[in-house]
Amino acid sequence: MKDFFKLFIFNLIFYSFFITFSAFGIPFLALIIAFQAPFISHRKAMKKFRRAIAWYGIGVCRILPFPFVRISYKDFETSINHPGPFIFICNHRSASDPFLMAYLPYEEVIQVVNIWPFKIPVLGFAAKCAGYLSVREMAFEDFVKKTIGHLNDGISIAAFPEGTRSADGSVGQFHSSIFRVALKSGYPIVPICITGNENIPARGTLLLKPGVIKIHKLNSITYDKYKDFSPYKLKNQIRSIMMDHIKIMENKRDA
């Protein structure tokens, strides 16, 4: 009964603030940037939209659910000190994953998203203005061209190659599109493993449960290490690295 009450209070508080914050915060930020847009460069406007989404992400994932939900970010990079840009590959368990990308210590990150985030009122508009790439609505050649264009401009790319949220917490099969971009462009790949948010909220429900979300940024994999791989081998290699690390994160395997 006590747990039920705690869960009820948590969800009541979160959703009250979430609705208010989403209904006013994002339109307010988007309006400010939209007014500035004619007077600044296109790239700068895109950057501002991305920053607005990142702020929204931190608000929704860190501030509003606190102290019921805590976030732990760890950087395991040991091999190189590459300035970037990078191709971030993330596992996908929750609708909160794209907002958690705000934790990456890189300002310029464009996300590769499915169709649905573009359909969210206002936020979808902001995502379009931020230059997010709706991979299913683009021809593969356009996707490659645009993605490599962003990377060459110094902007990192974050992708969720499972394509959809995992229903049972397992890491689904990867789509190869982003790995083909990596092989064509030669930028380092950085796996990002996220656990703990599978119930915040779980797929098919809006009910949030308290917990700790862990975000682990793994070692970069530089082009010289994967240049001779086929796209199929590359995607499975990265998937395997991530699955092994997720097992460690969830204490299913010894470190």
Partner 1 sequence: MTEQEIIQLTNQVFEESFEIEKELLKPETNIFEDLGLDSLDVVDLVVALQEKFGVKIRNDERIKNIRSLGDIYNFIFKLKEEH
Q: Which of 241, 141, 144 is nearest to 192 (CA)?
A: 241
Choosing from 82, 119, 227, 233, the residue that interacts with partner 1 (CB under 8 A) is 233
| Binding of partner 1 by 185 (CB under 8 A) | no
The token pair at 93 is 């368990």
Q: Interacting stretch for partner 1, rule CB under 8 A, among 48-56, 58-66, 129-137, 228-236? A: 228-236
Shortest Å distance, C-beta 170 to partner 1: 12
* Radius of gyration, alpha carbons of the chain: 18
- Cα–Cα distances in angstroms (integers) from residue 209 to residues 67, 71, 101, 145, 246, in the given order: 12, 14, 21, 41, 20
Q: Which of 59, 178, 52, 158 is nearest to 109 (CA)?
A: 158
Which residues on adjacent β-strands are paired with residue 194?
215
| Binding of partner 1 by 175 (CB under 8 A) | yes
Side-chain-side CA neighbours of 63 within 13 Å: the count stands at: 11
| Binding of partner 1 by 174 (CB under 8 A) | yes
Choosing from 20, 79, 152, 230, the residue that interacts with partner 1 (CB under 8 A) is 230
| Binding of partner 1 by 176 (CB under 8 A) | yes
Shortest Å distance, C-beta 175 to partner 1: 5
Shortest Å distance, C-beta 136 to partner 1: 11
Count residues near partner 1 (CB under 8 A).
14
| Binding of partner 1 by 114 (CB under 8 A) | no
> Between 222 and 236, whose beta carbon lies closer to partner 1?
236
The DSSP-derived string for 202-239 is: PTT------EEEEEEE---B-HHHHTTS-HHHHHHHHH
Which residues, numbered 53-112, are part of the site for partner 1 (CB under 8 A)?
none
Shortest Å distance, C-beta 8 to partner 1: 39
| Binding of partner 1 by 140 (CB under 8 A) | yes
**Which ranges of the chain would DSSP assign to H, the alpha helix?**
2-20, 26-36, 42-58, 97-100, 123-129, 140-152, 177-185, 223-226, 231-249
> Between 152 and 230, whose beta carbon lies closer to partner 1?
230
| Binding of partner 1 by 173 (CB under 8 A) | yes
Which stretches of the chain bind partner 1, using CB under 8 A?
140, 173-177, 180, 230-233, 235-236, 239
